[in-house]
């Protein structure tokens, strides 16, 4: 069995930056265990398996695996898949079937191996729980309790398909000096996947509005996490001053890892209610190859 795959860097237009992604382009016929084993072989934060869609109007179906488990939805795999489909099929919009539901993405070509995609969230974020034990959160992150929070933002758990513990911190210096405490991590961040998305405002940085780091999901630190940014839309929309209208934030992630990512976060409210959210970014194809799995 031979399987073609592409390697991409996502949330960047620069090769060897951003978040890495493998896309197996024709995965029909693979068993669940085979997909999981291949994802473990690539050992990237996520691997996409592209399948024929069930719906005639849809462009493709995908399944998303970390080295440890399957996810119903993830942001950088969705952006990467949309760019692959846009480049290969020469279209400006794609409809992708994911386990969470149908995702529609708009695509704009940059050059023969890169493009920009933006997709509407298949599930709007919702608040799961508040987090009030600041001392334990601080201990788990290796910071001080008074480093947590800025403005009206306080820690909370949100999900837009995958739950994240969202932790606002005082400034980018606090974000940079996080030193995670694995001994108590799972006890403090006890929801599914044990993942924390730590973020702050960046008023002194001209190219972005927010900065974030993501820890957990069995991958240590992740350089660019679209599903976490999607969850963050829920918390951002709660604090947005507008009752009706659209807001956009540029978020940086991965800088502390040497894999800088640029994520576009956009949402719209109507009469105080969140009604739409999108995640956008660039992706570039950096390689391709063939898996040879024998007979």
Catalytic site residues? 46
Structure tokens at 185: 């991590």
Half-sphere exposure of residue 254, counting CA atoms within 13 Å on the CB side? 23
Of the chain, the end-to-end C-alpha distance in Å amounts to 5
């Amino acid at each position: 069995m031979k399987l073609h795959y592409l390697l991409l860097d996502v949330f960047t237009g620069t090769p060897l930056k951003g978040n890495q992604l493998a896309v197996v382009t024709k995965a029909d016929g693979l068993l669940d265990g085979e997909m999981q084993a291949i994802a473990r072989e690539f050992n990237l934060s996520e691997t996409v398996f592209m399948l024929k869609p069930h719906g005639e109007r849809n462009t493709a179906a995908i399944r998303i695996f970390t080295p440890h488990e399957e996810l119903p939805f993830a942001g950088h795999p969705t952006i990467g898949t949309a760019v692959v489909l846009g480049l290969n099929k020469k279209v400006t919009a794609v409809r992708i079937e994911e386990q969470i539901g149908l995702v529609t993405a708009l695509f704009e070509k940059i050059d023969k191996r890169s493009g920009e995609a933006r997709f509407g969230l298949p599930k709007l974020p919702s608040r799961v729980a508040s987090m009030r034990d600041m001392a334990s959160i601080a201990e788990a992150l290796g910071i001080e309790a008074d480093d947590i929070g800025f403005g009206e933002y306080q820690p909370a758990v949100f999900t837009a398909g995958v739950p994240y513990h969202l932790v606002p911190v005082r400034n980018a210096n606090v974000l940079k000096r996080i030193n995670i405490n694995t001994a108590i991590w799972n006890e403090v961040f006890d929801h599914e996947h044990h993942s924390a998305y730590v973020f702050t405002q960046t008023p002194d940085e001209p190219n972005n509005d927010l900065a974030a780091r993501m820890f957990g999901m069995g991958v240590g630190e992740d350089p660019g996490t679209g599903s976490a940014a999607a969850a963050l839309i829920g918390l951002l929309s709660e604090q947005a001053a507008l009752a009706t209208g659209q807001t956009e934030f540029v978020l940086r992630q991965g800088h502390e890892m040497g894999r800088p990512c640029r994520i576009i976060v956009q949402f719209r409210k109507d009469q105080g209610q969140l009604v739409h959210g999108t995640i956008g970014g660039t992706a570039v194809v950096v390689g391709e190859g063939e898996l040879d799995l024998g007979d």
